[in-house]
Amino acid sequence: MDSPPLPRLSLSLSIVFASGSRIGSDKFRLLQFIHDTGSISGGAREMGVSDKRTLVLLDSINQAFMEPVVLTLPGGGARLTPLGLFVLARYCKIAERAAALAADDLASLAELARLDVDPKG
């Protein structure tokens, strides 16, 4: 008899700056989607959030740095600035390292995790 698959656990990473600004995985996903789609609206669609919410998230990200990480282009579209590309690459590197370091511990926790819990409850 096969045992049921173990629940997949993931690690969520937030970077908290001395200023109090916080950038977590959702904001970094948004940056990646904007980079991939070349558009703020495209990034919003990929994230499944409104354009208004996206602009709030972008403002929060831009406020964390001395220079903007996303620029809108004349005629439409958007792109990450060189700083934005650097920030996104560093976050990805940090997240990969953290996941690799935590893999054994996450696997141990997965063995103990219930499968029938409502995560929003």
What's the pLDDT tens digit per position in 13-67? 999 999 999 999 999 999 999 999 999 999 999 999 998 999 999 999 999 999 9
d(Cα 22, Cα 9) in Å, to the nearest integer? Answer: 23
Euclidean distance between the first and the last CA atom of the chain, given in angstroms as a whole number: 32
Dihedral of CA atoms 77, 42, 51, 17 in degrees, nearest 10, equals: -80
Amino acid 107: pLDDT? 87
Amino acid 113: pLDDT? 83
Mean of pLDDT over the chain: 89
Residue 9 — very low, low, confident or very high, per pLDDT cuts 50/70/90?
confident
Mean pLDDT of 3-21: 79
Amino acid 15: pLDDT? 94
Contact indicator for 38, 83 with CB cutoff of 8 Å: no
d(Cα 19, Cα 58) in Å, to the nearest integer? Answer: 17
Domains in the chain with CATH codes: 15-112 (1.10.10.10)
Amino acid 43: pLDDT? 94
